[in-house]
Amino acid sequence: MTTTNRQIHLASRPDGEASSANFRLVEAPAPEPASLAVGQVLVRHHYLSLDPYMRGRMNDAKSYAVPQKLGAVMGGGTVGEVLASRHPGYQPGDKVVGMGGWQEYAVVDAAQPGALRKVDTTHVPLSAYLGAVGMPGVTAWYGLMKICAPVPGASIAVSAASGAVGSVVGQLARAKGCRAVGIAGGPEKCAYVVDELGFDACIDYKAHADPKSLYQALADATPDGIDGYFENVGGAVLDAALARMNAFGRIAMCGMISGYDGAPIPLAHPALILQSRLRVEGFIVSEHMEVWGEALGELAGMVASGRLKYRESVAQGLESAPDAFIGLLKGRNFGKQLVKLI
């Protein structure tokens, strides 16, 4: 009996908002252990990671992300278990993290640098390697430590604060002796950010449709201004944060999810970059591999010791991935969005 490998392909590119109609569920035969070439590893995926950057790859536009090919398996981070291996570094039963894509099984050329990494699940749950101890965690670490470069006592703010990246930014900032203020959507997320994650304050941007109201709420939460801002959303939230920046503040531009689906959202007052002598820097964590070792080490230690908390939204089954992804783009997830495949 041949096992089935269910896959999600990109069926069409979005015209405006992405929808589940852009995806197609495809059934392929699962790779056979006997068919592995030397150096290859067969992995069964336990979790698939859904991340905002995937929306950019669905377009055919020039962007930092190489466009996702039409009619091919959607790319994405995965954790799973080795079923069979023709690479000496991997044995059946090993837990691994890789870029297996939106499918249940993958054959990986393990000799390729960065293609597969064995992970220890003694103190860190497997799924965390897609979140706080994975790409989102390192993203938070890089933007905070290398761009915002906070000193103890500094005021750090972060948008999408309950998300996979934002939640790590604020907790790391607190661990560095900073004041951490989050911006999130809805009272439940804000309560979680303050009560569970230990941020000093959190603004509910959904309660402030008017830019002046949003600015005032942020001003109340950041009485000493903002020294470092970590941006995940863009739009009105970025406008408000920019206006609260202290002189010589730093802004790490990590994501602009509010503008991914439609027309670009302008920045209302770019002259503030000059007036407040800010440094605004965009980055992609995969271009800074030199920090991954240090960052993952620190993040794993914090998770293992309970000092770094995280929440996961887990959708069940590969077929649920498209809807879960659309929900992520709309902020319906709460914490790291995963799809459980077993």
The residues near 237 (Cβ < 8 Å, ≥ 6 apart) are 159, 183, 205, 214, 231, 258
Among 234, 322, 331, 335, binds a second copy (CB under 8 A): 234
DSSP 194: I
Between 51 and 204, whose beta carbon lies closer to a second copy? 51
Among 99, 265, 304, 314, binds a second copy (CB under 8 A): 265
Question: Which of 35, 41, 30 is closest to 2 using CA atoms?
Answer: 30
- Rounded to a whole number of angstroms, the distance between the first and last alpha carbons of the chain is 19
| Residue labelled with tokens 């393990």 | 110
Q: Decide if residue 256 touches a second copy (CB under 8 A).
A: yes
| Least Å from the CB of residue 51 to a second copy | 14
Between 34 and 271, whose beta carbon lies closer to a second copy? 271
Q: 77 vs 58, 98, 119, 274, CA distance in Å? A: 16, 6, 14, 38
Say whether 285 sits in a helix, a strand or coil.
helix
User: Hey, what are 206's tokens?
Assistant: 């959904």
User: Hey, what are 309's tokens?
Assistant: 């908390």
Q: Decide if residue 264 touches a second copy (CB under 8 A).
A: yes
Among 119, 156, 161, 254, binds a second copy (CB under 8 A): 254
Among 191, 253, 304, 314, binds a second copy (CB under 8 A): 253
Q: Decide if residue 66 touches a second copy (CB under 8 A).
A: no
Size of residue set near a second copy by CB under 8 A? 32
| Least Å from the CB of residue 147 to a second copy | 9
| Least Å from the CB of residue 98 to a second copy | 24
Among 125, 259, 301, 327, binds a second copy (CB under 8 A): 259
The most distant pair of C-alpha atoms in the chain lies apart, rounded to whole Å, by 68
Among 207, 284, 289, 342, binds a second copy (CB under 8 A): 284
CA angle 108, 297, 251 (to 5 degrees): 95
Q: Decide if residue 268 touches a second copy (CB under 8 A).
A: yes
CA separation for the pair 70, 82 (Å, rounded): 28
Q: Decide if residue 279 touches a second copy (CB under 8 A).
A: yes
Using CB under 8 A, list all residues that contact a second copy. Answer: 56, 63-64, 234, 238, 247, 253-256, 259, 264-271, 273-284, 287
